[in-house]
Amino acid sequence: MYNRKGEKNQNKAKNSSILSSKALSKRIEEIFLRFSSALKTAQIYELNNLTFIEQIRSLFSLIEEIFTEEGQALFQFQENTLFLNNNRIKFDLVSFHNFKFLAGEFRRKEIGTIRFEPGLDDEELAEFVGLLANSREKKDTSFENFQTELEYKGINHILIEKIHPYDPSVRLKHEQVKQVAKKVYFKSITHLKESFDRHKENKKLPWKTSRRLIQSIVNLINQDESFMIGMTNIKNYDEYTVNHSANVAVLAVCFGSRLGLEKEEMIELGLSAFYHDVGKLDIPKEILDKRDKLSEDERKIMEKHTFHGVEKLISLRDSNYLPVKTLYVALEHHLWTNFSGYPKFWKRNKIGLYSKIVKICDFFDSVTTERPYRDHVLTRDQALSLMMEKSGTEFDPALLKLFASMVGVYPIGSLVSLDTQELGIVMEANSEVTFMLRPKVKIITNRKGGKIDGEIIDLTELDPEKGNYKRTIVKSLDPNKYSIRVSDYFLTL
Ligand SMILES: [Fe+2]
Ligand SMILES: [Fe+2]
């Protein structure tokens, strides 16, 4: 019943002239006017109503114009603020009324983000608006239910994401953040395991779910970065590659947040980290876990996981959506900053930023994890000092410095002995550079060495009488030698 359009804009360049912010606001105002009217009409009439069809046509052509000008159309709602393609949109008073109406409708279904993808046609758009209007009548207004309905109707070019905890309207309490963080972390592991298993049957990688999980990680990091970094102390919860990929993703997203990347960039970085080792899936376990030195042939097979990663990402993608940076990361995450490492004959004269970040996080997680071929697992501060020795050769010096400040001189999760003879676990780095040696520490043994569930102490605390610090770190210790599982202290919080 409608004209099919959309595909033609798929490749229109992002490079094309970006609309001036005033013109963009004008266009968004129009979109919201059309969208509100179409939604109100659909709440009263059937989808074949002529007025509704007209409204959808104009709405569709406005969205198409955004594709043409900007390459994508991503709407994010945060309380009373709208972002289009990560730019904040300002409204005048009349348009704000339309925007508020729509934002209210979306919030009722817990929708925080709507992404219109190239390939959309006006028929699909009409179905979407119709569903939105009809779901008003239904009792179950949950996001999950609405999303299932979208999938059932085959609406594939309008992707929605759940409203996020960091939205001030649903800001979580401190404790809730930790609970959600644990849930998201373990869900990521299960999800990666499922994705990797699907690959064995040549099934597509479920990008949408991966995206949603990374988005949750991004939001949680905004709320409690230290706790998220702490979660990466969980090792060998599942197969190595699965657990490792989740940890690298968490660390990389934290890194991206420290670098001030935009939310969408952090999602791409997180996805790249999730799938950086996807090329390892076909490598036999005997090679992956071999205790002895790899033979020349085995080493070659191992190194090829970078190329295989790219092949898999291309062949197993489940939509047109595949950030090109994920390919670079799969290919480049074993390249050194001085271009040693592998793949050996890489012709680019620069290494991508995301690849350099993933390289750092990958190394850090890998050397701090027990593996059959590793005689000695490094503690987190040993790993950091080893990496510092490789600054400028293996790792990008500026990025490595930033990573060190992110995890701290005593990285989160380190076991430390204090001058009070107590032992503690580093829970949070001190953001003040002058206090880098004074993080927040959870006390886990008393002065006599008995295990206790102590408080989290800020080591900058002074003794009011003496005027000196109450506690100071003497040195860091290897948790394995003390049979301490650091991850337990993050899981029981
Ligand atoms: Fe790798
Ligand atoms: Fe890796």
- Report which bound ligand comes closest to the CA of 333: 1
383 Cα–ligand 1 center, Å = 17
Tell me, yes or no, whether 12 and 75 share the same domain. Answer: yes
Tell me, yes or no, whether 154 and 196 share the same domain. Answer: no
Tell me, yes or no, whether 270 and 377 share the same domain. Answer: yes
pLDDT, position 223: 81
Of the candidates 296, 151, 129, which has an alpha carbon nearest to the alpha carbon of residue 209? 151
Of the candidates 326, 318, 325, which has an alpha carbon nearest to the alpha carbon of residue 117? 318
Tell me, yes or no, whether 215 and 274 share the same domain. Answer: yes
Residue 75's DSSP bridge partners are: 84, 114
The answer to whether position 480 is within a domain reads yes
H or E element in which residue 89 lies: strand 87-89
The answer to whether position 2 is within a domain reads no
Which amino acid would we find at residue 382?
Q
273 Cα–ligand 2 center, Å = 8
pLDDT, position 1: 35
245 Cα–ligand 2 center, Å = 7
Tell me, yes or no, whether 263 and 349 share the same domain. Answer: yes
H or E element in which residue 358 lies: helix 353-367
Q: Are 242 and 189 in contact (CB under 8 A)?
A: yes
**Average model confidence (pLDDT) for the chain?**
84
Residue 160's DSSP bridge partners are: 114
Tell me, yes or no, whether 224 and 91 share the same domain. Answer: no
| Ramachandran sector of residue 260 (left: φ over 0; alpha: ψ -120 to 50; beta: rest) | left
What are the structure tokens assigned to 457, written together?
Answer: 């102490």
What would the pLDDT profile of 129-184 be if each residue is shown by its tens digit? 998 888 666 666 678 888 888 888 889 889 888 876 544 444 456 677 888 899 99
Is the backbone peptide bond immediately before 284 cis, with ω within 30 degrees of 0? Answer: no
- Report which bound ligand comes closest to the CA of 307: 1
Tell me, yes or no, whether 138 and 89 share the same domain. Answer: yes
Sequential DSSP letters for 393-449? TTB-HHHHHHHHHHHTTTTTT-EEEETTS-EEEEEE--SSGGGTT--EEEEEE-TTS
Segment of 37-46, 62-71, 190-199, 353-362 carrying the highest mean pLDDT:
353-362
- Report which bound ligand comes closest to the CA of 329: 1
Last residue of a domain, one of 144, 163, 182: 163
- How many domains does the chain contain in total? 3
306 Cα–ligand 1 center, Å = 7
241 Cα–ligand 1 center, Å = 9
What would the pLDDT profile of 394-417 be if each residue is shown by its tens digit? 999 999 998 988 888 788 888 999
Helices marked H in 110-206: 122-134, 143-152, 174-200
Tell me, yes or no, whether 189 and 317 share the same domain. Answer: yes
Last residue of a domain, one of 139, 163, 187: 163
What would the pLDDT profile of 215-251 be if each residue is shown by its tens digit? 999 988 888 888 899 889 888 777 888 999 999 999 9
Share of the chain above pLDDT 70, in %: 88
Contacts of 132 (CB under 8 A, 6+ apart): 39, 42, 105, 109
pLDDT, position 2: 36
399 Cα–ligand 1 center, Å = 19
What would the pLDDT profile of 361-399 be if each residue is shown by its tens digit? 999 999 999 887 777 888 888 899 999 999 999 999 999
Tell me, yes or no, whether 124 and 47 share the same domain. Answer: yes
φ and ψ at 160, to 5 degrees?
Answer: -115, 150
303 Cα–ligand 1 center, Å = 8
Tell me, yes or no, whether 295 and 425 share the same domain. Answer: no
277 Cα–ligand 2 center, Å = 5
183 Cα–ligand 2 center, Å = 23
What letters, b where the CB count within 10 A reaches 16 and e where it falls short, cover 427-452? bbbbeeeeeeebbbbbbbbeeeeeee
278 Cα–ligand 2 center, Å = 9
The answer to whether position 300 is within a domain reads yes
Please give the residue range of the domain that contains residue 271. 174-406
332 Cα–ligand 1 center, Å = 9
The answer to whether position 1 is within a domain reads no
What would the pLDDT profile of 77-98 be if each residue is shown by its tens digit? 776 677 787 777 776 666 776 7
pLDDT at position 209 over 80: yes
Q: Are 79 and 170 in contact (CB under 8 A)?
A: no
Tell me, yes or no, whether 396 and 427 share the same domain. Answer: no
N-terminal to C-terminal alpha carbon distance within the chain: 56
The answer to whether position 150 is within a domain reads yes
The answer to whether position 169 is within a domain reads no
287 Cα–ligand 1 center, Å = 14
Neighbours of 205 (CB within 10 A): 23
Query: Dihedral, CA atoms, 274, 276, 279, 283, nearest 10 degrees?
Result: -80
275 Cα–ligand 2 center, Å = 9
434 Cα–ligand 2 center, Å = 33
The answer to whether position 168 is within a domain reads no
pLDDT, position 79: 60
User: How far apart, in Å, are the Cα atoms of 238 and each of 64, 227, 283, 346, 376?
Assistant: 44, 20, 17, 33, 20
Tell me, yes or no, whether 428 and 399 share the same domain. Answer: no
The answer to whether position 241 is within a domain reads yes
358 Cα–ligand 1 center, Å = 10
Last residue of a domain, one of 375, 406, 437: 406
Neighbours of 1 (CB within 10 A): 8
